[in-house]
Amino acid sequence: MSRFVLDTSVSLAWFLDRPVSRRAVQVWHSLQQGSRAVVPPLWLIEMANGFATAERRGALTRSDIDRCLTGIDVLLASSVDYSTTAISLRQAFAAAASGFRLTAYDAVYLETARTEHLPLATLDRALADAARRAGVRLFV
């Protein structure tokens, strides 16, 4: 069983993007075949924000969001573990402000992957580039 850090860019793609990118589909299939995603607590807030933004833009209706939230509940119960690694303010700032030039949110995913020695699943190009430069493998 493989484990990896799951960035919100991938998990939101499953629910919001049409068509869903090939990479996001590959990550989904990996979870269906027994892999486990590791997420920092920030992931829940980012998922909620993604759905709220989609609703405000008219991309999803309330019933669509209810279906998405049910899907997330199933995903959480079957394939997702919460990271127990605490990423400090200093770590997040250092990764965000260093040569990586990431948002603090993305820096948390990078630091989680780096600290837990896990590959990172992301669709975010800047985060993927930062991961490569930091010596973090990309998932899929």
Residue 84 is predicted with a pLDDT of: 87
Domain assignment of residue 71, yes or no = yes
Report the sign of the C-alpha dihedral through residues 32, 117, 47, 54, in that order.
Answer: negative
Range of the domain at 60: 3-134
Domain assignment of residue 140, yes or no = no
Residue 44 is predicted with a pLDDT of: 94
Which amino acid type is present at position 18? R
Give the H or E element holding residue 46: helix 42-56
Q: Alpha-carbon distance 117 to 137, whole Å?
A: 9
Domain assignment of residue 139, yes or no = no
Residue 85 is predicted with a pLDDT of: 85
CATH of the domain at 62: 3.40.50.1010
Residue 41 is predicted with a pLDDT of: 93
Q: pLDDT averaged over consecutive 10-residue blocks of the chain (140 residues)? A: 94 94 96 96 95 95 94 93 88 80 92 96 96 94
CB atoms within 10 A of CB 53: 13
Which amino acid type is present at position 37? A
Domain assignment of residue 98, yes or no = yes
Put simply, whether the predicted model's pTM sits higher than 0.75 gets the answer: yes
Domains in the chain: how many in total? 1
